[in-house]
Amino acid sequence: MTTAEKEQELKRIITEHGKVAVAFSSGVDSTLLLKECADTLGAENVVAITACSLAFPKREQNESTEFCKSEGIKQIQFNINPLEIPSFCTNPPDRCYICKKAIFTEVCRIADEQKCNCVFEGSNLDDDNDYRPGMRAIQELGVVSPLRKAELTKAEIRLLSEKLKLKTASKPSFACLATRLEYGDTITEEKLKMIDRAEQLLIDLGINQVRVRLHGKTARIEVEQEQMQTVLENADKITTAFQGYGFDYTALDLNGYKTGNMNKSIQQ
């Protein structure tokens, strides 16, 4: 199917569910999904539900609020402390399943309260190519993935976002801050805050796609190849700031940014 045909299929899937709740993170995928739902069903038949936690930077939360207000979409935010979710802190390989199950159980409860017929989430076709234990939780709870069902890829989602003049068309991909830690490395509030502050500093320097991976007390910076020069030009500022955040050492990964990099240990 062409991208245009896939968009029509997406609209068909949305229409057959009536009033819906959308798990909304303000990312590229969920923003397009929410916009398509509002355009197809009318904003009055869509509820955006956003989970706020230590693993979700404040800037993302603020962007979600701004978008819903601009589109006239009702948004419900709820706070969840992932460190209180049983087994999450031990950071096992199925950490994402554990976290998603807890978060989406609450999303589904809120959706029922709002008398929504179902819950949508923003996974796309490309997500099938990576280790995604969280998808098991999505399936167990009966949550629908319209973008994935319509076979839309990330590139096509960006194209449709551009057509709809969404600011997220060129927004960098983002993932939960816990993905910056190696499996088995205990997750703490201190570590999540260190990572968040480090990534925010790099974003403020104009680096749009970044991951700061944590290895003991070492920060391993991943950026696109063309943005490595920016890191090097600001090396003194970055290392000094990172030391203040709690890192002993700062390293630049010459392989560059790669999504799902911490999954290598369980995919071998």
What residues act catalytically? Answer: 176
31 vs 110: CA distance, rounded Å:
19
Q: How many CB atoms lie within 10 A of CB 23?
A: 23
What is the CA 192 to chain-centroid distance, rounded? Answer: 15
CB 235 within 8 A of CB 247: no
Indicate the helix (H) or strand (E) that contains 74: strand 74-79
101 vs 171: CA distance, rounded Å:
27
- Which token pair is 255? 């392989």
224 vs 102: CA distance, rounded Å:
33
Amino acid 159 reads L
Please name which of 196, 239, 227 lies closest in space to residue 53, comparing C-alpha atoms. Answer: 196
Write down the residue that tokens 């009055």 correspond to.
44
